[in-house]
Structure 1
Amino acid sequence: MASSTASEWDLHTAITPAGDGLFDATLDPGWVVGGGVNGGYVLGVVGRTIAETLPTKPHPLSVSASYLSASRPGPAQVSTRVLREGGTVATVAAELGQEGTTRISVLATYADLREMPTDVSTTAVEPALPPLEECVPGSMAPAETRRIAPVMDRFDLRFDPACIGWAMGKPSGNGHIQAWLKMADGHPLDAVGLLMVCDALPPVTFDLGRPGWAPTLALTVHVRAVPEPGWLKVSHRTRNVAGGLFEEDCEVWDPAGRLVAQSRQLAMQPRP
């Protein structure tokens, strides 16, 4: 159980063993966005549960989730099944359900990143974000927006001014949103927290002039390293909107200049 000194993230992802691979959880209403609970947060709850199931391999390497129905605030139950556990990695299947309905189904590979090389070599280019004081705080969002998306209060977001035109009715059309991010309470995130960060920014379709809630169908996250404490750089891009769907590619960089997580999400076009 989480203690009174735990971070908000730890409290909101707290789980209680219920026996036979089952764990009880409570999805906090502070993570609501649009018509359901934020998908990254729900994945984080499942990710925390898997970490508890594998005490010697607490870090996600690759996590693939299918979203079967929208999660709601309130009680939930997570089931886990270890498919294989070797000396270095383990593979686990997990599901989160509510009221007899499966909300999310997950297949994950976990390891101990502390036992693996800490260098991150990549040809990807770290996002060039302006200094924090030159970026646009998420707290400037209209009160009505914050009312229907209380998830915004979970973070301190500072948006790149070049990617925030959609907030003034002037989207760039580039399909790109990037921002600095840390938790609102200032606590650093661990490797499991990166599962949530990959779904923390507004849908990238906002920058295409298509605002609204965009339900996630599938999300795959690869975690490369445990992030260093401090501000994270988060970048979302899309190149295709077709068949009522769009993809969203995310990169997360830590203060040490390392690409610590990347993801691809398939989501439905935004609903007003």
Structure 2
Amino acid sequence: MAETSEAPTVRAAVGDSEFDRDTAVTEREPGVYDADLSAGWTIVNAVNGGYLLAVVGRALGQALPHPDPFTISAHYLTASDPGPAVVRTQTVRTGRGLSTGQASLVQFEADGREVERLRVLASYGDLGTLPDDVRTSAKPPELPPVEQCFGADDAPAEQRAVPGSSAIADRLWLKLDPATLGWALGAPSGKGEMRGWFGLADGRDADPLSLLLAVDALPPTAFEMGLKGWVPTIELTVHVRARPAPGPLRVALTTRNLAGGYLEEDAEVWDSADRLVAQSRQLARVRLT
């Protein structure tokens, strides 16, 4: 089992944290939910894709008869802005063990024009009913102890002062493996890897919904491949495999193929009990110049 130190002090419980408040949705009518996208989950003024998926995931969890996302896929159509949004859900199928739904998150321009931001298809079930049999060749990422890893507070002051870039970092407890931080020192490894310890800054334990954020919360692997700038997500699919045990998570990202200005980014999320609790793959666009 993983041993950690300097984990965030628990100041908030599941259901009573900033993450819960900022992903909250209010039912306007059956299947339609109002949301308020918080500026606190932006990076360089763009709302984080994992946070957006958690907002839509919460709405689907209220609309469907099963509580937990098993698999959820999102296509990001346009960049989202902080502020009011509407999530429209539709139940596609309801079964004994799984229910499937789809959802769209929309916002409105100043002239009243509706713009769809992302569209989601998901299957929900109950993770608590799954058998505990595990047969796997997957292994947790090997990370240095927390005290040997680095977070946003360890960066030089001039790097922390980029407008809009630190909002989400203030809400995360993130300690990155030094072996994947060459980009921060001007010497990227070129390996397309990123690894680190992950939690929420207020110490709230992870749950299935926050795993949707965890897979998209580390710096992009493109940085360690020598690329800079925004790496917008085109499509993101997350598989939630188990309810995570209390304690910090370990997240590992890898990219094997960058071609034509697009790359895939695979994520694994491991809990403090050495269980693989979430996996994801996303397609993202990069700027090559």
TM-score (norm 1): 0.95
**Aligned-pair distance for 1:164?**
0.8
Select which of 101, 120, 123 maps to 2:137. Answer: 123
| Residue number in structure 1 paired with 2:10 | none
| Residue number in structure 2 paired with 1:104 | 118
Runs of 4+ in structure 1 off by over 4 angstroms are none
Runs of at least 5 residues in structure 2 that lack an aligned partner in the other structure: 1-12, 109-113
* 1:232 and 2:242 matched: no
| Residue number in structure 1 paired with 2:232 | 215
Distance in 1 of aligned mates of 2:228 and 2:118: 24
**Aligned-pair distance for 1:238?**
0.4
Distance in 2 of aligned mates of 1:82 and 1:163: 41
**Aligned-pair distance for 1:250?**
0.4
What are the within-5 Å matches in structure 2 for residues 16-27 of structure 1?
16-27=26-37
Distance in 2 of aligned mates of 1:256 and 1:64: 27
| Residue number in structure 2 paired with 1:65 | 74
Distance in 1 of aligned mates of 2:246 and 2:81: 31
Select which of 157, 168, 179 maps to 2:185. Answer: 168
Distance in 2 of aligned mates of 1:225 and 1:138: 29
Deviations 1:14-73 (A, max 9, x none): 11000031000000001111352000000000001111112x411011111100000000
Question: The residue matched to 2:256 in structure 1 has which SS?
Answer: coil
Question: The residue matched to 1:51 in structure 2 has which SS?
Answer: helix
Distance in 1 of aligned mates of 2:161 and 2:218: 17
Distance in 2 of aligned mates of 1:130 and 1:192: 27
Q: Relative contact order, CA 8 A, sep 6+: which one is greater?
A: 2
Deviations 1:107-145 (A, max 9, x none): 000001011123443211210001111111222232224
**Aligned-pair distance for 1:229?**
1.1
Q: Please provide the CA RMSD for this pair.
A: 1.6
* 1:197 and 2:214 matched: yes
Amino acid at match of 1:157: L
Deviations 1:164-186 (A, max 9, x none): 11101011111001000110000
